[in-house]
């Protein structure tokens, strides 16, 4: 098996990510432990090998003292052994040590962790994304994946290496004189106390700094995502000041982290100097008593000096590790929260049917607030076209969001073709519903990719046919982006900013054509367009509705007058229902809406509207 195959970077995670550090680490690294174990073994060998260089130096010095004249003839095994060690074994071990980090861990751990986090984040409900910034969420995903990858690499590359050296040093010192162990044990104890005191402080300040950094990111992303509004209201300075405030909070947290980190480095540096000083003096004292050799002094000096040097690196690594741990904990707190909406065990993964929809006594409120829907009861037959009408906040969009299971009902149930939507997987449910919204979502990808989002497996001819039916083909052929890509290959810009509202709606309709789902939801699909553009795409809109069960929301009543049935909502309840003509004849709430939009006044009893 190839070493690069030790980690499958796209191996899916098992279950949801835990919200505590060590269980989360196990979840994120599952499938990589063999590679990590191999790395630890090789790194340990590298640390032991480093100490063997000191032992070899001591042997050579002691050998020259014993038989200086016959060294080259009597000690050729040491020479050959040294050549094999320094020219073959040591380079191979250190190359392997570098290779497992640079080839096995580095390129594979980061994508594996980020892929698992991204998969979990995508499963969150709409409420999760509504309560946070997209930029902040993405940065925390990157920060957590990068931080955990760096921790694994730093622990295996430096911490284990240093521990292997320290343990090897204890063995070597014990071979010289057990009393030398006392110096190393005392030094190790002081080092452990320093770590015990500083680590939680470094970690806490690292987490605070990470949190402040994500606030800065969120502020900048929020500003740039709404740059048109910033420009139109001439609030460049206001947004700049808001960013400055966030940066100032980050600066304070970063300063607090910097102070404790600098103090930590100072203490570790001082400890690094104590070890060679006292260990060399101790060995020299033993030499004066005739209980140690010159080679022992040289070996002790090399061991202690090398450990002192690695202490410096270990100090920097410890700061980096606990900085990353703080950032990981900060990320886990945001990313690893349980999904609000989950598929029931045994939920059907396939939903086939003509597209019958039924709301049965559905009630819902957003976070315990006023009822957005209250006892909402509606049956829509397959192929029927139903419009939902009402003032803002009447519950129209809430009903559509519940049908798509962006939220779960609080009471009652919703059925599609006789099946409770909670008994379907979310993927199966949404595969049965095509949606065209007022704020049409466009990816900064090609026009082709945006249309194929409706059905990625569709062929090129099907994609072009859908664009033609949506009256989008002709304008797509005229597109050209800043890199010279034309037609269907041209990129549309972030959120489709390079297109007009009508063009975005045509591509959204092409996407709906291509999806060809039995249920079609039109959520104010033309309300953002002027009347002329709206009239121009009415033909495409009628085409996409052909043979579908349609649920449409529109403030512009002229666009829904031809629907089979119009349902009027007020305060989350159905107050009127019927055809356009029948509702006008009732002279109720719908008639009032119609009168206002048509500029007419209708007499209701003794009062005039």
Q: What is the DSSP string of 126-184?
A: HHHHHTS-HHHHHHHHHHHHHHHHHHHHHIIIIIHHHHHHHHHHHHHHHHH-HHHHHHH
Beta bridge partners, 573, equal 570
Segments in 407-530 forming alpha helices (H): 426-431, 447-452, 460-469, 473-477, 501-515
For the chain, count helices (H), then strands (E).
Answer: 22, 12
CA separation (Å) from 109 to 2, 69, 112, 392, 466?
16, 56, 5, 48, 41
Give pLDDT, residue 135: 73
Nearest Cα neighbor of 511 from 444, 433, 427, 425 is: 433
Token duo for residue 108: 């594979």
Task: Label residue 608 by pLDDT band (50, 70, 90).
Answer: very low
Query: What are the tokens at 295?
Result: 């080679």
pLDDT for res 414: 95
10 Å Cβ neighbour count for 443? 14
| Tokens 């006892």 -> residue | 375
Domain ranges of the chain: 18-335, 348-432+517-609, 441-515
Answer whether residue 27 shows pLDDT above 90: yes
Q: How confident is the model at residue 150 (pLDDT cuts 50, 70, 90)?
A: very high
7 CB neighbour count, 10 Å cutoff: 22
Give the whole-number percent of the chain exceeding pLDDT 70: 90
Shared fold status for 348-432+517-609 and 441-515: yes
Q: Does the domain made of 348-432+517-609 have the CATH classification 3.40.605.10? A: no
- Alpha carbons 308 and 290: distance in angstroms, whole number: 27
Q: 18-335: CATH homologous superfamily?
A: ABC transporter type 1, transmembrane domain (1.20.1560.10)
Q: Which residues contact 435 (CB under 8 A, 6 or more apart)?
A: 400, 404, 512, 520, 521, 523
Residues 385 and 545: their CA atoms lie apart, in Å, by: 8
Superfamily of structural domain 441-515: P-loop containing nucleotide triphosphate hydrolases (3.40.50.300)
* Nearest CA among 400, 386, 543, 368 for reference residue 469: 543
How distant is the alpha carbon of residue 510 from its chain centre?
30
Given a contact cutoff of 8 angstroms between Cβ atoms, the answer to whether 50 and 309 are in contact is no
More confident residue, 1 or 224: 224
CB 236 within 8 A of CB 230: yes
Of 71-75, 159-163, 306-310, the poorest mean pLDDT is in 71-75
For the entire predicted model, the pTM comes to 0.74
Share of the chain above pLDDT 90, in %: 23
The set of residues, in sequence order, having a beta carbon less than 8 Å from that of 89 and lying 6+ positions away, is 49
Strand partners, 567: 388, 577
When pLDDT is averaged across residues 546-574 and rounded to a whole number, the result is: 84
Residue 4 DSSP class:
G
In sequence order, the β-bridge partners of residue 435 are 521
CA 140, CA 217: separation in Å to the nearest integer? 10
pLDDT per residue as tens digits for the range 40-69: 999 999 888 888 887 777 776 766 655 555
25-29, 302-306, 543-547: which range is least confident on average? 302-306
The whole-number pLDDT of residue 535 equals 60
What is the structure's pLDDT at 29?
Answer: 93
Residues in the chain: 609
Interhelix angle for 160-176 vs 236-288, to 10°? 10
Query: Cα torsion for 468, 474, 480, 481, to the nearest 10°?
Result: -40
User: Which whole number is the average pLDDT over 530-541?
Assistant: 63
Query: What element of type H or E holds 264?
Result: helix 236-288
Instruction: Specify the 3-state DSSP secondary structure of 486.
Output: strand
What pLDDT digit, counting tens, does each position of 114-132 carry?
Answer: 999 999 998 888 778 877 7
Helix, strand or coil for residue 48?
helix
Q: Flag whether pLDDT at 86 surpasses 90.
A: no
| pLDDT tier, 78 (very low <50, low <70, confident <90, very high otherwise) | low
pLDDT per position as a tens digit, 335-352: 988 888 888 888 888 777
For residue 554, what pLDDT is reported? 75
- What is the C-alpha to C-alpha distance for residues 583 and 577, in angstroms, rounded to an integer? 7
pLDDT at 534: 61
Q: Which of 376, 387, 384, 385 is nearest to 414 (CA)?
A: 376
Q: Which two tokens stand for residue 272?
A: 């690094």
Count CB neighbours of 513 within 10 A. Answer: 24
If 0-12 CB within 10 Å is exposed, 13-18 middle and 19+ buried, where does residue 333 land? Answer: middle
Q: Based on C-alpha coordinates, what's the Rg of the chain?
A: 35
Sheet arrangement for strand 385-389: 433-437, 519-523, 549-553, 385-389, 565-570, 573-578
Question: How far apart (Å, rounded) are the C-alpha atoms in residues 287 and 300?
Answer: 12
Dump pLDDT digits (tens) for 269-328. 788 777 777 777 888 878 887 777 777 777 787 777 777 777 777 777 887 888 888 889
Task: Assign 335 to helix, strand or coil.
Answer: helix
Using CA atoms, how far apart are residues 309 and 289, in angstroms rounded to an integer?
Answer: 29
For all residues of the chain together, what is the average pLDDT?
83
Q: Tell me the average pLDDT across 444-471.
A: 90
Is the CB of residue 61 less than 8 Å from the CB of residue 54? no
Q: Residues 559, 542: contact at Cβ < 8 Å?
A: no
- CA distance linking residue 238 with residue 218, whole number of Å: 16
Task: Determine the pLDDT at residue 28.
Answer: 93
Instruction: State how far the Cα of 177 lies from the Cα of 93, in Å rounded to an integer.
Output: 29
Write down the pLDDT at residue 368. 67
């Amino acid at each position: 098996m190839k070493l690069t195959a030790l980690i499958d970077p796209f191996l899916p995670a098992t279950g949801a990510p835990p919200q505590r550090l060590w269980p989360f680490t196990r979840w994120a690294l599952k499938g990589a432990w063999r590679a990590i174990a191999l790395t630890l073994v090789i790194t340990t060998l590298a640390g032991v090998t480093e100490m063997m260089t000191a032992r070899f130096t001591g042997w050579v010095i002691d050998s020259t003292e014993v038989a200086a004249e016959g060294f080259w003839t009597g000690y050729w095994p040491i020479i050959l052994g040294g050549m094999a060690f320094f020219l073959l074994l040591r380079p191979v071990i250190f190359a392997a040590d570098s290779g497992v980090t640079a080839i096995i861990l580095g390129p594979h751990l980061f994508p594996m962790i980020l892929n698992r986090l991204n998969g979990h984040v995508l499963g969150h409900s709409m409420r999760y994304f509504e309560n946070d910034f997209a930029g902040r969420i993405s940065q925390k995903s990157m920060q957590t994946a990068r931080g955990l990858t760096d921790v694994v690499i730093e622990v295996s590359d430096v911490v284990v290496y240093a521990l292997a050296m320290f343990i090897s040093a204890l063995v070597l010192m014990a071979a010289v004189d057990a009393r030398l162990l006392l110096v190393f044990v005392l030094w190790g104890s002081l080092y452990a106390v320093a770590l015990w005191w500083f680590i939680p402080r470094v970690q806490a300040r690292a987490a605070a700094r990470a949190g402040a950094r994500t606030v800065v990111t969120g502020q900048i992303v929020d500003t740039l995502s709404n740059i048109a509004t910033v420009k139109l209201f001439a609030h460049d300075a206001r947004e700049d000041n808001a960013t400055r405030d966030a940066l100032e909070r980050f600066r304070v947290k970063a300063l607090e982290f910097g102070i404790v980190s600098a103090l930590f480095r100072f203490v570790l540096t001082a400890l690094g100097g104590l070890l060679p000083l006292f260990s060399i003096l101790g060995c020299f004292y033993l030499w004066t008593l005739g209980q140690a050799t010159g080679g022992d002094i040289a070996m002790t000096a090399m061991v202690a000096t090398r450990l002192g040097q690695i202490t410096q690196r270990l100090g920097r690594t410890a700061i980096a590790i606990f900085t990353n741990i703080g950032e990981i904990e900060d990320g886990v707190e945001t990313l690893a929260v349980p999904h609000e909406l989950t598929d029931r065990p045994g939920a059907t993964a396939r939903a086939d049917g003509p597209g019958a929809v039924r709301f049965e006594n559905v009630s819902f409120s957003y976070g315990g607030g006023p009822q957005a829907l209250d006892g909402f009861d509606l049956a829509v037959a397959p192929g029927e076209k139903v419009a939902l009408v009402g003032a803002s906040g009447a519950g129209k969009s809430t009903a559509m969001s519940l049908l798509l299971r962006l939220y779960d009902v609080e009471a009652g149930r919703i059925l599609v073709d006789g099946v409770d939507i909670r008994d379907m997987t979310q993927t199966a449910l949404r595969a049965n519903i095509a949606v065209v919204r007022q704020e049409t979502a466009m990816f900064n990808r090609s026009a082709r990719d945006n249309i194929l989002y409706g059905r990625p497996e569709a062929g090129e001819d099907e994609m072009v046919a859908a664009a033609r039916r949506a009256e989008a083909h002709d304008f797509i052929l005229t597109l050209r982006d800043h890199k010279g890509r034309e037609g269907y290959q041209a990129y549309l810009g972030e959120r489709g900013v390079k297109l007009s509202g009508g063009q975005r709606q045509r591509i959204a309709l092409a996407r709906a054509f291509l999806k060809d789902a039995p249920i079609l939801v039109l959520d104010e699909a033309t309300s953002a367009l002027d009347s002329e553009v709206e009239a121009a795409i009415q033909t495409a809109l009628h085409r996409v509705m052909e043979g579908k069960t349609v649920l449409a929301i529109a403030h512009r009543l002229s666009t829904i007058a031809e629907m089979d049935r119009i349902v009027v909502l007020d305060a989350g309840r159905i107050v009127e229902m019927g055809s356009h003509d029948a509702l006008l004849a009732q002279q109720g709430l719908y008639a009032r809406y119609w009168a206002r939009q048509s500029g007419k006044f209708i007499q209701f009893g003794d009062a005039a509207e």
